[in-house]
Structure 1
Amino acid sequence: MTATAPQSHGNYATVNASIRPKGRLELLSKLEIDKLLDTSQRGLHTVFRNCTLAVLSSGNDLDSGKELLERYPNFNVQIIQEARGIKLEISGAPATAFVDGEMIRGMREHVFSVLRDIIYVSDEIAENPRFDLAASAGITDAVFHILRNAKVLRPGAEPNLAVCWGGHSISREEYDYTKLVGYQLGLRGLNICTGCGPGAMKGPMKGATIGHSKQRISGGQYIGLTEPGIIAAEAPNPIVNNLVILPDIEKRLEAFVRVGHAIVIFPGGAGTAEEILYLLGVLLHPANQAMPFPLIFTGPASAASYFERVHEFIGHTLGAGAQSRYQIIIDDPVAAAQAVQAGIAKVREFRRNNSDAYCFNWLLQIAPAFQQPFVPTHASMRALDLHSGQPAHELAANLRRAFSGVVTGNVKEQGVRAIEQHGPYEISGEAAIMTAMDALLAQFVAQGRMRLPGRAYTPCYRIVC
């Protein structure tokens, strides 16, 4: 790899560099390169450029895709075909991605993970008639192939993957608690999967590395699952050793619940609420009622009121059946890890008795309402059906979309620009549901969970009863 000396752009230093893959995706076809250079709407250049910038911005004080692009307006990446393979010419990259003129190795690996997944989805999924992305089974098959291509799935391995969800904007006390839980999970030989970003996505991985080290466990998995819309707001943390870029948020969420053997939820904001509603909606489907799926809500003593409000919101909207699908464990990392371990034992027995794969949950039924991409716009947000009288899992699907829209308006580039142009999204529905949602979002705002600490927050939504 070659790199220039850092140059200043505004208040931020940038570097130009040439990098080559090592042991991964060393050759591309001419058609693949043409697509990666194509800046039109059909081309892949914009998504590859933006995801690469997000990867190289890891550790920066940003959680907005729009702000990231504005901070590094001259950033670009080009594919150069050479006789012995390919080379990436990167210009205007954040200088923080380099040490003494060399790109940090983990960031370089993540860049080529981005390239691998974008090419694979384009060539083998989106343009392949074999995958019917309008059908539930076709979507699940696509998720499986993306994960298999990224070498996330380990056939024959015992169930041991704990998915950890939680916010990127959390207090120091909450962050330290996520590390303690991760440490206890690591001591028990469990691997970690998160949304790959900072905060509650980084802490469990950091703790698990120490637990694995003490148990002399090598080859631990620290999987980060993301998608092009959110990666700029949640840049991959440096502990992630297997980064996967799914095409959209719905396939990212399905990937989590298909590969995870248990899910631990730490405090978070609208994105964490979206994840909770997604999983509860899936589990409330009648076909999944007998399936064991450990779900643990946990945080330090200071987070007790947070989980009380989340629990109340779930009760007001989805009912006691949804509340029965999870445990709340406060200020006890050991108990949280033990609950995960005990739950995974039940998952192992269920999978074995039902001849389902350990590495991918094929038996879990996911309704199309949770799989088809939802694009938040002012019109689609106003049109959401947020009323009782529908099955709980269908209401959960619509509530999930509502919170997904809030995330989009908060941090995703297209959402931020739409809010700037047209004002806040309007979310309307049954008065009792809207009152509960308004109270939950107000708590997130008051506790600083919508943006990174110290960054002002203007709501991107307006609740209309």
Structure 2
Amino acid sequence: MNTDIAEVIIRPEGSLQILSYQEAQQLCDASDVGLNDILMRCALAVLNTGSEADNELALLEKHPNFSIDVGVKGRGVQLIIKNAPRHAFVDNELIMGLKEHLFAVIRDLIYSRNEILFSKKINLNTAHGITNAVFHIARNAQLMKPNVLPNIVVCWGGHSIPENEYHYSKHLGYELGLRNLDICTGCGPGVMKGPMKGAILGHGKQRYQNGRYIGMTEPGIIAAEAPNAFVNELCIMPDIEKRLEAFVRIGHGIIIFPGGPGTMEELLYLLSILLHPDNTDLTLPVILTGDEYSKAYFEGIINFLNATLGSEATDKIKLIINHPRDVATYMKEQMEAVRQDRKASSDAYYYNWRMTLELEHQQPFIPNHKNMAKLSLHKDQPVHVLASQLRKAFSGIVAGNVKADGIKEIRRNGPFDLHGDKEIMHAMDILLESFVTQKRMKLDTSEYHPCYKIHK
């Protein structure tokens, strides 16, 4: 029985009330150069918040008749949504938090398209240009808060995690909240939800009125990690690379919980930056943490990093197991170190301009068979470059697991082929096999079929 809402009309508020006819046309344009397809996918993901699925293609197939159009009337804009999931509504009224997220999607898609991607104002062929692009998108989303001391903690980790790991992330979020620290995550379920939920309680006990729960996503992954209900500041970056850069530019410290290939992608991205020769003096605290049962998981991560990148990489991170209060206390102390570092270098508290990223970190990686096969997974290169190449390998695995385009690519051509040094391939095989065994690849509980093939 189809229980979707046949049709609903929503009138945006604020600046979105005055979209131009051209912007509305872009949002309705279903051609390759239009925004309707990406709007439809992002909107469906937002309206599907709370779902236990993490497969974008399956979500699209479940709602084949879902559509969204934008119309401009004399006194403003209206969204015409057809066949929307009923659980996004209460008494036929769209839940307010979901409405805000939907407006954020429209805001960011329009701004990124017209002011960044198809504008000559910013040169996206240079590293500095891309950094400026990330800044402009984040500022337009009102993520920049001047005259506020460093206090944003980025939390990374898996969306497909057992209940005990979720509770630990929530407990740590509570401890962070008690110290008036704000939370930024990938905005989805699991570890992206737990710290926010915990921080809300901690902030409430401290009567901290301005708690920030920032969700950072991108169109290719939003359906797999739909924004959770606690996100109160949502920003959609154009691609995964700009999303990752936004995390490290806006955040003041990073906590990494157990996860799967997506978490490894984030960790390797971070290490590729911290290992860069220009960033050796950068103050950015990084903690790996989990409950008592996560010790073996993190031992596997450390073993992988030692086998591929060496002790130079593991020296950049701090491991604290099953002590959420210690993690929060350490992170609170490090906020003062970050403040002193930014002050001494005359860098902004709200955006880390001084951090060096190369074009290698920033240009979108397209995870197809050709690009995955030619990744340079060898040790005869600078360690920060190898970290970046490894990051792209895990990015491809994420795409093959949960992103619609990646899933279609695997269906057409079979698993991605990964080639490299024997030691690196062996270490990767061991790590990925542990993810499969621990059911960290997907939320789907059925048998996992690898989207990759490792050649030793």
**TM-score interval w.r.t. the shorter chain?**
over 0.9
Instruction: Report what 1:241 is aligned to.
Output: 232
- Give the Cα separation in 1 of the matches to 2:271 and 2:17: 41
Q: Show structure 2 runs of 5+ residues with no match.
A: none
**TM-score, normalised with respect to structure 2:** 0.99
- Give the Cα separation in 2 of the matches to 1:35 and 1:21: 17
Task: Measure how far apart 1:208 and its partner are.
Answer: 0.1
- Give the Cα separation in 1 of the matches to 2:289 and 2:334: 15
**Pick aligned residue for 1:281 from 272, 282, 290:** 272
**Pick aligned residue for 1:374 from 339, 344, 365:** 365
User: Relative to 1, partners in 2 of residues 1:456 and 1:95: Cα closer, same or farther, differing over 3 Å?
Assistant: farther
- Give the Cα separation in 1 of the matches to 2:201 and 2:447: 35
Instruction: Report what 1:69 is aligned to.
Output: 60
**Pick aligned residue for 2:339 from 348, 351, 354:** 348
Instruction: Report what 1:418 is aligned to.
Output: 409
Deviations 1:210-245 (A, max 9, x none): 000000011211000000000000000000001100
**Pick aligned residue for 1:217 from 208, 211, 217:** 208
User: Relative to 1, partners in 2 of residues 1:295 and 1:334: Cα closer, same or farther, differing over 3 Å?
Assistant: same
Task: Measure how far apart 1:23 and its partner are.
Answer: 2.3
2:16 match: secondary structure: coil
Q: Give the conservation status (yes or no) of the 8 Å contact 1:15–1:95.
A: no
- Give the Cα separation in 2 of the matches to 1:85 and 1:281: 46
Aligned AA (1:30): Y
Instruction: Indicate yes or no: 2:386 matched with 1:403.
Output: no
Instruction: Report what 2:310 is aligned to.
Output: 319
- Give the Cα separation in 2 of the matches to 1:14 and 1:230: 25
Instruction: Indicate yes or no: 2:144 matched with 1:144.
Output: no
1:21 match: secondary structure: coil
Q: Give the conservation status (yes or no) of the 8 Å contact 1:186–1:211.
A: yes
- Give the Cα separation in 1 of the matches to 2:432 and 2:219: 25
- Give the Cα separation in 2 of the matches to 1:400 and 1:370: 9
- Give the Cα separation in 1 of the matches to 2:42 and 2:4: 19
**Pick aligned residue for 1:94 from 85, 90, 94:** 85
Name segments (4+ residues, structure 1) moved above 6 Å. Answer: none
Instruction: Report what 1:272 is aligned to.
Output: 263
Instruction: Indicate yes or no: 2:288 matched with 1:297.
Output: yes
Aligned AA (1:329): I
Deviations 1:85-137 (A, max 9, x none): 00000001111100111100000000000000000001111121111101000
- Give the Cα separation in 2 of the matches to 1:45 and 1:75: 12
Aligned AA (1:204): P
**Pick aligned residue for 1:25 from 16, 26, 29:** 16
What is the alpha-carbon root mean square deviation over aligned residues?
0.9
Deviations 1:299-341 (A, max 9, x none): 0010000000001111111111110111000000001111211
**TM-score, normalised with respect to structure 1:** 0.97
Task: Measure how far apart 1:24 and its partner are.
Answer: 3.8
Q: Give the conservation status (yes or no) of the 8 Å contact 2:48–2:226.
A: yes
1:77 match: secondary structure: strand
Instruction: Indicate yes or no: 2:177 matched with 1:186.
Output: yes
1:25 match: secondary structure: helix
Aligned AA (1:286): P
Q: Give the conservation status (yes or no) of the 8 Å contact 1:15–1:94.
A: no
Instruction: Indicate yes or no: 2:425 matched with 1:434.
Output: yes
Q: Show structure 1 runs of 5+ residues with no match.
A: 1-7
- Give the Cα separation in 1 of the matches to 2:317 and 2:395: 22
- Give the Cα separation in 2 of the matches to 1:351 and 1:335: 24
Task: Measure how far apart 1:421 and its partner are.
Answer: 1.1
- Give the Cα separation in 1 of the matches to 2:447 and 2:41: 24
Q: For structure 1, which segment, 124-133 or 14-23, has the greater mean C-alpha deviation from structure 2 after superposition?
A: 14-23
Instruction: Indicate yes or no: 2:96 matched with 1:114.
Output: no
